[in-house]
């Protein structure tokens, strides 16, 4: 189906009372898979999995047809293939997803400045201030869905509610390609039949603790006195879950949450002990992290590396620089020093990662040169690479050492 022909389906309760429901949770449907299928429309309606095809690859996304077989994101690719052997496997194209994500977020900002991204494919919006200009929240949600389809050829699901927690649950319940309004006076009716695992903060261990108390649904939990919950969960968790069970969530939509750190990591297709190949991967990751720093307008001061051995034991090492940076060559040099200091040269590794912490805004920052020191030119060169990547794609410009033949043991 072409982009012009595709239209979002109507929500199951588009006419529901959305008074007091200014919060939207917008979630793209099978985001990576949907982006790929724009260029391969013949695969629509069939099981498709996005992920590195190697033995150690993981599922990044899957169409709903593949999910019916039990495939889900973060699942090892080997297991996904066993569950759904007929699925088409498509390697990820990360630059493409980032471009679509930016475009979708720009659409959100045309409706309200109160946008809180929580992932590349989902965000909370507070449209309370846009009501007079654009109409009620459900109508705004429908306009957003129509624009996402029209401009990007993918669909999204939107939950409309009076709180972030309920809005997110609503978007999950109307997937794919739906819109669900949870009126303020129907929140309890909506929440209480749900399994208790639907509550934020209920992981596997907490769910087991609640089941020992005979609590299986949100309604069961709501009926238990907080003092009883405290004995099994602790004071903070008991109060938190009891409030959610009654639909109480006072958190506002926060338009901008500063990044605390930026990192990237890679799992090798086969364990690698060759220091030359390890350093090559550290360069690749440093390039990726530096590009994200510049894209976000950040400088970082603390560089860390993550090194996971073949037996899954993991070592981390970090170092604070004399001054903050967004230059890949600086990150790379520091990462290599940390790798050497960890004493793992010639030790088989299955994963390496590079991360930068202690971030601050790059705007207005100036670099202090030492006496007789010259500018290296690396920042300007990398900024030129950024421009080329934005225009021609992720692999348009690479350091010479990263131009490699295929099958060197590293997943693309």
For 24, the token pair is 């939207």
Residue 274 annotated in ligand binding: no
Q: Per-residue pLDDT tens, the chain, 412 aa: give them.
A: 333 345 555 555 556 899 999 999 999 999 999 999 999 999 999 999 999 887 778 899 999 999 999 999 889 999 999 999 999 999 998 778 888 998 999 999 999 999 999 988 999 999 999 999 999 999 999 999 999 999 999 999 999 999 999 999 999 999 999 999 999 999 999 999 999 999 988 888 888 889 988 999 999 999 999 998 888 888 888 999 999 999 999 999 998 766 788 888 888 878 999 999 999 999 999 999 999 899 888 999 999 999 999 887 889 999 999 999 999 999 999 999 999 999 999 999 998 999 999 999 887 555 544 334 344 556 565 556 555 554 444 454 455 454 444 334 333 3
Beta bridge partners of 179: 158
Q: Kind of pairing, strands 179-181 and 156-161?
A: parallel
Other C-beta atoms closer than 10 Å to the C-beta of 337 total 14
Domains present along the chain, CATH in parentheses = 1-183 (3.30.70.270), 192-245 (1.10.150.20), 261-402 (3.30.1490.100)
Residue 259 annotated in ligand binding: no
What is the distance between the alpha carbons of residues 167 and 191, in angstroms, rounded to a whole number? 11
Residues involved in catalysis: 122
Contact 324, 300 (CB under 8 A): yes
Phi first, then psi, for residue 300 (nearest 5°) are -130, 150
What is the distance between the alpha carbons of residues 178 and 145, in angstroms, rounded to a whole number? 9
Chain centroid offset of residue 78 CA: 23
């Amino acid at each position: 189906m072409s982009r012009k022909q595709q239209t979002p389906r109507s929500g199951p309760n588009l006419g529901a009372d959305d008074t007091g429901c200014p919060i939207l949770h917008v979630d793209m449907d099978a985001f990576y898979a949907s982006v790929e299928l724009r260029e391969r429309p013949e695969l629509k309606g069939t099981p498709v999995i996005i992920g590195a095809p190697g033995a150690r690859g993981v599922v990044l996304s899957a169409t709903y047809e593949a999910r019916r077989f039990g495939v889900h994101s973060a699942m090892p690719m080997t297991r996904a293939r066993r569950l759904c052997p007929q699925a088409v496997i498509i390697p990820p194209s990360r630059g493409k997803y980032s471009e679509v994500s930016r475009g979708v977020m720009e659409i959100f900002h045309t409706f309200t400045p109160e946008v809180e991204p929580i992932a590349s494919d989902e965000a909370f919006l507070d449209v309370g201030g846009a009501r007079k200009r654009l109409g009620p929240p459900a109508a705004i949600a429908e306009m957003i869905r129509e624009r996402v389809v029209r401009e990007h050829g993918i669909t999204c699901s939107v939950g409309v509610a009076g709180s972030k927690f309920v809005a997110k649950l609503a978007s999950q319940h109307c997937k794919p390609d739906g819109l669900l309004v949870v009126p303020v006076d129907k929140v309890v009716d909506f929440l209480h039949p749900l399994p208790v695992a639907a509550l934020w903060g209920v992981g596997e261990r907490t769910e087991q603790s609640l089941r020992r108390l005979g609590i299986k649904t949100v309604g069961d939990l709501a009926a238990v006195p907080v003092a009883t919950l405290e004995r099994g969960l602790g004071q903070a968790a008991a109060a938190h879950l009891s409030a959610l069970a009654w639909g109480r969530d006072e958190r506002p939509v926060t338009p901008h949450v500063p990044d605390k750190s930026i990192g990237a990591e890679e799992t090798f297709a086969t364990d690698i002990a060759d220091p030359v190949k390890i350093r090559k991967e550290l360069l690749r990751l440093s390039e990726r992290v530096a590009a994200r720093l510049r894209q976000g307008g950040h400088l970082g001061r603390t560089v860390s590396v993550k090194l996971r051995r073949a037996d899954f034991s993991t070592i981390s090492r970090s170092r604070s620089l004399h001054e903050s940076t967004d230059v890949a060559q600086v990150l790379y040099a520091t990462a290599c020093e940390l790798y050497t200091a960890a004493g793992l040269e010639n030790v088989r590794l299955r994963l390496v990662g590079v991360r930068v912490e202690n971030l601050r805004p790059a705007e207005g920052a100036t670099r202090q040169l030492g006496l007789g020191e010259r500018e290296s030119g690396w920042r300007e060169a990398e900024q030129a690479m950024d421009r080329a990547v934005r225009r021609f794609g992720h692999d348009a410009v690479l350091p010479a050492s990263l131009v490699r033949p295929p099958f060197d043991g590293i997943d693309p």
